[in-house]
Amino acid sequence: MTMTTMKNALLGFAAVSLLGCAGGDNPGREYAPNMYHSVAYEPLSQITDEMAGEWVNALDNGRGEYFNSNKYNEFRMNMRTPPANTVKRNKFGWLPYRSKNVPKDSVDIVIGALKSPLDSSAVYAVEGKALYEVYCKHCHGANGTGDGKVADKYAGVANLKGDSYLAMSEGHIFHVITYGAGLMGAHGSQVTPEERWKIARYVKTLQKQK
């Protein structure tokens, strides 16, 4: 093969490949249709023509290979629309935290029955420590005594080992992380509920250390 014929062959191959790319909604020519069309139901695809892909159907089911919508469901989707007022749970099955933000002096009423969903495993305090160091340490300090770098400049950061905080429940800490308290801003948008519980566990551990 000379250099020129090789070039021509390459150009020819490129041209054929490009033919496969059609614009707009047209997917172009499919060279191995069985690889494009799922035989199983898909949640979103809506090929509603029952005879679509009849020519590649190896089964004797009287319809096309590509047909995969569900005529019994709304919008012919296989996925179901959740019933009205469905509340999304997270991957642990937890419901969203619904207690409202309240002034500091009535927080105990709100958090009264709030219990950590985490079991007593020591691993949570370890993970909580890493999170505390990212989200809390710069204010509350490595030991929780309210002497972080930010506290050098701004007075009023709580000493979490102070007497008035020692009896504070994990639920209380969870609530404070979610909404903030007084001078402390809310951290709920940055820290997931699971992370808040881990941090709360760590704060309780920290309070027991000298």
Residues forming contacts to ligand HEC in the complex (CB under 6 A) are 104, 107, 135-136, 138-140, 150, 156-158, 160, 173, 176-177, 181-184, 187, 191, 199, 203
Looking at beta carbons only, is 67 or 174 nearer to ligand HEC?
A: 174
Residue closer to ligand HEC (CB basis): 53 or 146 = 146
Least distance between ligand HEC and beta carbon 172 (Å): 6
Between 14 and 183, CB nearer to ligand HEC: 183
Beta carbon of residue 104, minimum distance to ligand HEC (angstroms, whole number): 5
b vs e for 1-40, b when ≥16 Cβ sit within 10 Å of the residue's Cβ? eeeeeeeeeeeeeeeeeeeeeeeeeeeeeeeeeeeebeee
Of the two residues 74 and 152, which places its CB atom closer to ligand HEC in the complex?
A: 152
CB 111 within 8 A of CB 175: yes
Q: Cβ(144)–Cβ(207) under 8 Å?
A: yes
At its nearest, how many Å lie between ligand HEC and the CB of residue 101? 12
d(CA 73, CA 7): 54
Rounded least distance, CB 71 to ligand HEC, Å: 51
d(CA 154, CA 31) in angstroms, rounded, equals 68
Tokens of 180: 């903030």
